[in-house]
C-alpha cells in the first residue's frame, strides 16, 4: 500500500511540475509578446481582467487561470487602508468560501 501511495504521489508531483513549467512558459511568453502599455497583470497564476467593484480597502477584479481558463473573482487589498476589524471580517468571509473538491 505504501508503495502504491508513493507511486501515486510521484505521478501527482510529475503532473504538478509539468503544469508549473507550462504556467511559467505562458507567463514568460505573455511578458515577451506584450508592449509595456498593453502588458497583462497577474496575481499568481491568474491573469487580472476587469474591475468588478471598489471598496474602502481595495477592489475586486475578475481573473482567468492561465492554464485551466477557470474564471474567478480576486480581492486585492490595500494594506495601508486595512484595519484589524476589517481584516477579521474578511477572514470570516474567506472561511465561507468553498474549495475545489469540497463536497460540504
Q: Which helix (H) or strand (E) holds 49?
A: strand 46-54
75 appears as a binding residue in the annotation = yes
Q: Which grid coordinates belong to 88? A: 477579521
In angstroms, what CA-CA distances link 44 with 63, 88, 103? 10, 24, 25
Q: 77 burial class (0-12, 13-18, 19+ CB within 10 angstroms)?
A: middle
- Any residues with CB less than 8 A from the CB of 78 and at least 6 apart, and which? 57, 58
Q: What residues form the annotated binding site?
A: 75
Binding residues for ATP: 75
Amino acid at each position: 500500500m505504501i508503495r502504491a501511495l508513493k507511486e501515486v504521489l510521484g505521478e501527482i508531483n510529475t503532473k504538478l511540475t509539468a503544469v508549473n513549467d507550462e504556467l511559467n512558459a505562458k507567463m514568460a511568453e505573455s511578458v515577451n509578446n506584450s508592449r509595456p502599455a498593453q502588458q497583462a497583470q497577474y496575481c499568481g497564476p491568474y491573469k487580472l481582467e476587469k474591475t468588478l467593484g471598489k471598496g474602502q480597502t481595495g477592489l475586486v477584479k475578475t481573473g482567468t487561470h492561465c492554464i485551466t481558463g477557470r474564471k474567478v473573482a480576486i480581492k486585492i487589498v490595500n494594506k495601508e487602508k486595512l484595519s484589524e476589524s476589517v481584516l477579521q471580517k474578511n477572514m470570516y468571509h474567506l472561511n465561507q468560501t468553498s474549495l475545489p473538491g469540497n463536497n460540504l
